[in-house]
């Protein structure tokens, strides 16, 4: 089922959190609302769920206006960042909660809960209580509980933020698989651009309550519409006042029609090597080399090189955008 919202505006105590936001999420898609903290992305998710009232604007599910529909009648699955387990209920009772509300008969309820627990691979923990589960297990419980009512849309607020790195990576791809299996329209809030690019069909990048850009992850990465998007999605550097991704540049011997610069720092980060160079005009640029390229060139502090745009980049695309600051 598709989700659309238009002109969504919200302020808290005089501070504008969402400023006239509009977008459409297509049926079956996984959209990531990506932005720094305070960008309004969680508020937008809560507004779609009906948990936070909006000041103005409309929200529609499959073309049906739900702006004034309370959360309980929107038929939406919502997972909080802290998973909000019902602490006094067992895992099975947690998942069954929504079915009980709908007065599903006991036998049928049990069957559906068992099936959901299998889906999230928690069958053997059915009679345990939330505090006996790990963070990842609680997250899967929250997903099963949300999916139990067969919601039209699934909304996930920072679903992986509270997990450690390894579990996060596992769950990320698992959630992606599950979402495609169930085929449910999903909106996910995250501040992690790598996570968003890996999992989402589509990115919506928010900053200070406005949508900076929306589109396919690879397209947005290569064609950022604003300086903010360019720097938020990945590192950028500039040469001659024009912005590039550091891996789009290369260093070559002096001459060759390239800007000349002096190596000021070499940072080795395992596979990748960052070479920071000071241009003759005083600007700083950094170039990302692979381990092998660095080994071949062997740049040292104080040595002089030329910097130029890699031929593959120069011929195919325009630069990212102009007048962007040095890497953060």
Among 19, 97, 174, 222, binds another protein (CB under 8 A): 97
SS (H, E, C) 123-186: HHHCCCCHHHCCHHHHHHHHHHHHHCCCCCEEEEECCCCCCCHHHHHHHHHHHHHHHHHHCCEE
3-state secondary structure of 105: coil
Locate all alpha helices (DSSP H) within the chain, ordered by sequence. 41-49, 91-101, 106-119, 135-147, 165-182, 193-199, 217-222, 227-233, 291-297, 311-316
* Radius of gyration (C-alpha) of the chain in whole angstroms: 24
- Among the listed residues 47, 49, 62, 69, the one whose alpha carbon sits nearest the alpha carbon of residue 1: 62
CB of 111 to another protein, least distance (A): 18
Q: Identify which of residues 21 and 163 has a Cβ nearer to another protein in the complex.
A: 163
Q: Does 73 bind another protein (CB under 8 A)?
A: yes
Please state, in angstroms and rounded to a whole number, the distance separating the CA atoms of residues 29 and 243: 32
CB of 301 to another protein, least distance (A): 46
Q: Identify which of residues 73 and 124 has a Cβ nearer to another protein in the complex.
A: 73
Q: Per CB under 8 A, which region of 6-14, 69-77, 188-196, 265-273 contacts another protein?
A: 69-77
Please state, in angstroms and rounded to a whole number, the distance separating the CA atoms of residues 124 and 253: 63
Q: Does 98 bind another protein (CB under 8 A)?
A: yes
Q: Does 15 bind another protein (CB under 8 A)?
A: no
Q: Does 5 bind another protein (CB under 8 A)?
A: no
Pairing mode, strands 259-269 and 304-309: antiparallel
Q: Does 72 bind another protein (CB under 8 A)?
A: yes
Binding residues for another protein restricted to 159-198, rule: CB under 8 A: 162
Q: Identify which of residues 97 and 174 has a Cβ nearer to another protein in the complex.
A: 97
Among 149, 167, 242, 266, binds another protein (CB under 8 A): 149
Please give the residue ranges that form the binding site for another protein (CB under 8 A): 49-51, 70-78, 80, 82-88, 97-98, 101-102, 131, 135, 138, 142, 145-146, 148-149, 162
């Amino acid at each position: 089922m598709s989700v659309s919202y238009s002109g969504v505006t919200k302020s808290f105590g005089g501070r504008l959190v969402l400023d006239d936001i509009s977008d459409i999420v297509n049926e079956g898609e996984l959209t990531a609302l990506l932005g720094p903290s305070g960008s309004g992305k969680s508020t937008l998710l809560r507004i779609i769920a009906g948990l936070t009232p909006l000041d103005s604007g409309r929200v529609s599910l499959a073309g049906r206006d739900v702006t004034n529909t309370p959360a309980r009648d929107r038929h939406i699955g919502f997972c909080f960042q802290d998973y909000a387990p019902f602490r006094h209920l067992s895992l099975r009772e947690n998942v069954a909660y929504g079915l009980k509300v709908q007065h599903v008969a006991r036998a049928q309820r049990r069957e559906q809960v068992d099936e959901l627990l299998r889906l999230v691979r928690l069958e053997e923990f059915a009679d345990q209580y939330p505090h006996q589960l790990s963070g990842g297990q609680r997250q899967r419980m929250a997903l099963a509980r949300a999916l139990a009512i067969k919601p039209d849309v699934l909304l996930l607020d920072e679903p992986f933020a509270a997990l450690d790195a390894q579990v996060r990576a596992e769950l990320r791809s698992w959630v992606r698989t599950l979402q495609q299996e169930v085929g449910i329209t999903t909106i996910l809030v995250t501040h992690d651009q790598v996570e968003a690019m890996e999992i989402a069909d589509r990115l919506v990048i928010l900053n200070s309550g406005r949508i900076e850009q929306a589109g396919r992850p690879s397209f947005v990465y290569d064609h950022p519409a604003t300086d903010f998007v360019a720097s938020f999605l990945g590192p950028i550097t500039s040469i001659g006042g024009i912005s590039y991704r550091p891996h789009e540049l290369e260093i070559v011997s002096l001459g060759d029609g390239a800007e000349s610069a002096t190596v000021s720092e070499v940072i080795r980060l395992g596979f990748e090597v960052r070479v920071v160079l000071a241009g003759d005009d005083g600007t700083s640029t950094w170039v990302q080399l692979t381990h092998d390229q660095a080994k071949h060139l062997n740049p040292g502090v104080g040595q002089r090189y030329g910097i130029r745009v890699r031929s593959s980049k120069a011929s195919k695309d325009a630069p990212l955008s102009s007048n962007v600051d040095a890497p953060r």
